[in-house]
Structures are given as C-alpha cells and as structure tokens.
Amino acid sequence: MPAARERRRQPQGQDFVREPERDDPAAHREDVGVVVLARQPRRVEIVAERRADAGDFVRGDLLALPAAAEHDAAIGAALGDRAPDADADERIVHRRLAVRAVIVDAVAERRQRLLEMFLEREAGMVGADRNPHGGIVLYARSAVRTPSVVISSRGEERLHDGHPWIYRADVADVRAQAGDVVLVRGPRARALGHALYSDRSQIALRMLAYTAAPGQDRGDVQLDADALIRRRIDAAVAFRDSLAIEATAYRLVHGEADLLPSLIVDRYGEYLVVQALSQGMDRRLPAIVVALSERLQPRGILARNDPRARTLEGLEQRVEVLAGEVPERVAVTEVGIEYDVDLRRGQKTGLFLDQRENRAAAAQYARGRLLDCFSYNGGFALVLGRRCRETIAIDVSEDAVARVRENAARNGIAVEARVGNVFDELRGLERLGERFDTIVLDPPAFAKNKAAVENARAGYKEINLRALKLLAPGGTLVTCSCSYHISEAAFAEIVYDAALDAQAHVTVVEKRMQGRDHPVLLGVPETYYLKCFILRKLQ
C-alpha cells in the first residue's frame, strides 16, 4: 500500500489553459481541485479528490475526513485497493482530503463525457493528463463547483429560528456569483439548504429550501430552483383561489410568506404585475414568467421593477412588459367599487391591495361625515363613502386627487377631494371647529428604517391626536400604520397616548392587519407590516 503522504505537486504547465494561472502557485492552491480517475476496463473510478470541499465535484458522494490522511486507515484502503497508479495518489493526497471511491459508468477515453458528468455544464476544467499507468488526472477550477456559501453559527441560529435571511455579517465564505442559487453550509460544513445569494445587499442569503425538510429539498443534492419556484407559485395561487376574495385585483405571491423570498406577484384582472427584489429572483424572472403564463394564462405580465430596494441589490429600476400586452389603464373591481388602475405608474403595483379587507370592515361602522386622510386614489373614501352623508378625501399628490375624482365619478359617489398636507389640514379643520363621524388615517410608512422610529412615533401621535379631537362622540377612527419598524404594541401605545392627550375615552373595536392574500410568516416580523385599528370614541 503506498504511503498516503502529502506532496504539493502542482499540475504541469501544459495542463493549464490560461497563462496567469500557471504563474501563480497560490491561485492553483485556491482555485484548482484535482480529481484522480483510475481507469478500469470500460469504466472509471474516482479514487481521490483534493480539497476538503472536493465533494462538490461529485455532488456530495465523498466523505469529508478531518483526520490526517496518512493516519486514516479508510483512506489508505481506498487508495491502496483501488488506485493502480501510485504516482497519481501522491499527487492528490492532502492532509484534509475527502476520499471515497465512487464508481461511475463512463468511458475513460471520452474526456468530454467525464467533464459533463463531474464538472457540470460550466466545466472550468483547466487541464487533464494521462499518467503512465492508464489513469486520468483532471485539474478543475473551483468555479465549477455547485456555488456555496458558509455561514456563521449565529447565521445558523437565525435559520433555526425560522428566519429566511442571512445578513452579510454572518457569511463566512462565499464561492458563488451574484444571483446564484447556492448550497448553504453551517460552520462545520453541514448542508443547511439552498438560498438565493446576493453579492451586494446586506441580506446576503434568502433561503429557498431547508435540508431539514423531510424527504425533499435536500441540501446535498443539486436543487432545481425553477421547479421549486413553480411549485411554490402553484401553491400560492391555489391558496388565493381558496380565499374567495371579493375583488379582481389581489396579491398572488407575497414573497417570504409564500416561501418565494423577494418575489411579488399581483393580479389585476387579466394582467399580472411582478416585482423581483433580489439578484436571485431577478435572474429567475424568465422561468417565473413561464410558470405564471402556464398557470394563469394572463393577457400580459408587467415587471414593476422600479422599487428603490432594487438599487441595494445593484439592480436596475425598470418597468417593462415581460409577456403579452399591458394597456395603459386596467379596470378592476374591489368590494363593489370599480377602479381604473395605471399599472405602470401607480404606487406599489397600482393599488394598495393590502387594505381591501380593512376597507370592507371599516365600512360597517361608517356613517355621517367622513374624512379620508392620505386617500391616494380613494380606496377608503369610496368604499366607506357609499354609507356616508358627506365625504372629504385629502392627499398631498395632485395626481392621486385627480384619480379620486375620476373614480368617484365612475362609481357615482360624491367625494370632495382636496390636495393638501394632512398635518396642516387636520389643524385647519380643528380651528374651524369641524366635526366628523368617521375618520380614516392611512399614512405612508413614517418609519422607513429604525433610525426614523422616533420621528415616526411623533408623526403618528400627532395625526391620531388631531383626528380624535375632530371626531364626534360615538364616532369611528380607522387608524393604520404600515411601518414594520413600529410594532403593533408600539402603535397601540401611540394611539393610547393620543387618546390621553385628546382627553377622549376610546375603545378598540377591531385590531386588523393586511389582507389574507398578504399573510404573515411567523418568525419573520418584517412580513407583519400593516396594522389597522378600528376605534370608537365614547360619548
């Protein structure tokens, strides 16, 4: 049995395709893995691989052995029994060698077939030579391995807690390109699952599949990400079908909460709007479009890839038609109201679909004089306005106010829509001694990040205080926050403070959140962003 000893023999010059690699021994050590194949009649045996992570070449069939090779009987036996080529053994044996014989059916002379088999499609083989004993030695660059990322133990803990994001600070080693589906390994090389990798965002990994999930999505096999995404899209769509949503516009795929991190798909009648908010999802858009087209046969699919979040990923902000045709305006209905939606330029993907059920719930209490603050194109004003004597809608955007007027006319509902800053308008109305029976506060997210939380609290308190003062006794305040940095408890406290300052006794009639088509994934607080309280001011 040949002694299994380490000898750092570099592959020979002519083995390499590229000059610079030849001249840089460090690069060889880093980038070159060696697979030694011993030839037997009509088949090939891998007898050894260099590098602890060489298992990636043969998709995990190798055994990682932490012990020094020369002290390990298992390695010795494998090499001695199976390798007819002592010289080859010497070339590849490494202290932290992963070795296990794997027998494959292949014809040794057909180098191309070997490449396809071992090195996958993007084979980065840099050389091969035949040794005098009939074996073949392949030198392959590490770039051909399944892309992988090693995370820290803190990152692993996060995964165990059910959070699908790993931040850059918890990434220990990256062998992947931007947007790759990567095999995620823990600090002791254990496969944890597969994720989308971003080389730019602070969120370096977004988990797609967990090794621990019984029976499927094993981390040590290649993941067919497109097939997985298709299955998840099918499940997400089937769930929405089961909800019997009272609208022709609603969310079909809600990112993390549908286990499709950073992917949004909204339906607007016969059209779909998608957002891919990470490098990985962006790369998969063509397959996503095929999956959506087959499942739903939309007349058109629009990419609203203009959220600022894409710049954090180094992705372009772009709005484009991905399939079929998408008209300038699309008519949809929601809780009995018809809207004309501009899918290309409207906020979010066109409408605030997440408020549908809150509008319907709030309508049950609406009466008398209604004030809809931050009205956008009139969602609350129209649904609640049907039951009210008089409706005033305020938004700072002239465009939004024009839409409220159009939508009001279209639905035959009287709405006085005003352009104005709600903070000023509420004070103005208070000065005039106005009273309302129903008030809606649905502001944009005041706290876009943690640093903004204190100011955001002050902003929320101010508008709630003013609204409670304007509210007639017995009246209803529908108050919302879509900042996920302000928790439900924090929001309740703000509203309580406002009630104290307004010297009003207030009851909480309903605590609500975003609609059922935007579900919350437990363990992922970021998916619980919209809070909506329906409050009653007592006599």
Residue numbers at the binding site for ligand SAH (CB under 6 A) = 352, 355, 374-376, 379-380, 394-397, 400, 421-423, 442-444
Alpha-carbon distances, residue 227 vs 217, 284, 301, 496 (angstroms): 11, 11, 20, 49
The strands making up 390-395's β-sheet, listed across from edge to edge, are 416-419, 390-395, 369-373, 436-441, 471-481, 531-537, 506-513
CB closer to ligand SAH out of 53 and 354: 354
CB closer to ligand SAH out of 167 and 423: 423
Shortest approach of ligand SAH to residue 467 CB, angstroms? 13
Shortest approach of ligand SAH to residue 385 CB, angstroms? 12
Alpha-carbon distances, residue 377 vs 319, 370, 395, 521 (angstroms): 21, 16, 9, 29
CB closer to ligand SAH out of 124 and 379: 379
Backbone angles phi, psi at 336, to 5 degrees: 80, 0
Shortest approach of ligand SAH to residue 333 CB, angstroms? 15
Backbone angles phi, psi at 537, to 5 degrees: -90, 125
β-strand 330-334 against 337-341: which pairing, if any?
antiparallel
Shortest approach of ligand SAH to residue 539 CB, angstroms? 28
Q: Which helix (H) or strand (E) holds 34?
A: strand 32-40
CB closer to ligand SAH out of 257 and 381: 381
CB closer to ligand SAH out of 34 and 440: 440
CB closer to ligand SAH out of 62 and 513: 513
> Cα(30)–Cα(48) distance, rounded to whole angstroms?
18
Task: Count Cβ atoms within 10 A of the Cβ of residue 49 and give its class: 0-12 exposed, 13-18 middle, 19 or more buried.
Answer: buried
Q: State whether residue 22 is helix, strand or coil.
A: helix
Contact 110, 84 (CB under 8 A): no
213, β-bridge pairs: none
Shortest approach of ligand SAH to residue 456 CB, angstroms? 13
Shortest approach of ligand SAH to residue 413 CB, angstroms? 15
Task: Count Cβ atoms within 10 A of the Cβ of residue 161 and give its class: 0-12 exposed, 13-18 middle, 19 or more buried.
Answer: exposed
Dihedral of CA atoms 46, 48, 51, 54 in degrees, nearest 10, equals 20
Which parts of 412-452 fold into alpha helices (H)? 422-431
Question: Does residue 532 have an active-site annotation?
Answer: no
Q: Which residue's CB atom is positioned nearest to ligand SAH?
A: 379
3-state secondary structure 459-512: HHHHHHHHHHHHEEEEEEEEEEECCCCCCHHHHHHHHHHHHHHHCCCEEEEEEE
Shortest approach of ligand SAH to residue 227 CB, angstroms? 37
Beta strand extents in 239-326 (DSSP E only): 249-254, 263-268, 271-276, 300-305, 318-324
Amino acid 337 reads I
* Torsion sign, CA atoms 330, 238, 480, 302: negative
> Cα(382)–Cα(392) distance, rounded to whole angstroms?
10
Choosing from 373, 480, 482, 532, which is the catalytic residue?
482
Shortest approach of ligand SAH to residue 264 CB, angstroms? 17
Shortest approach of ligand SAH to residue 378 CB, angstroms? 7
CB closer to ligand SAH out of 421 and 449: 421
Contact 435, 369 (CB under 8 A): yes
* Torsion sign, CA atoms 384, 385, 389, 392: positive
Q: Tell me the catalytic residues.
A: 482
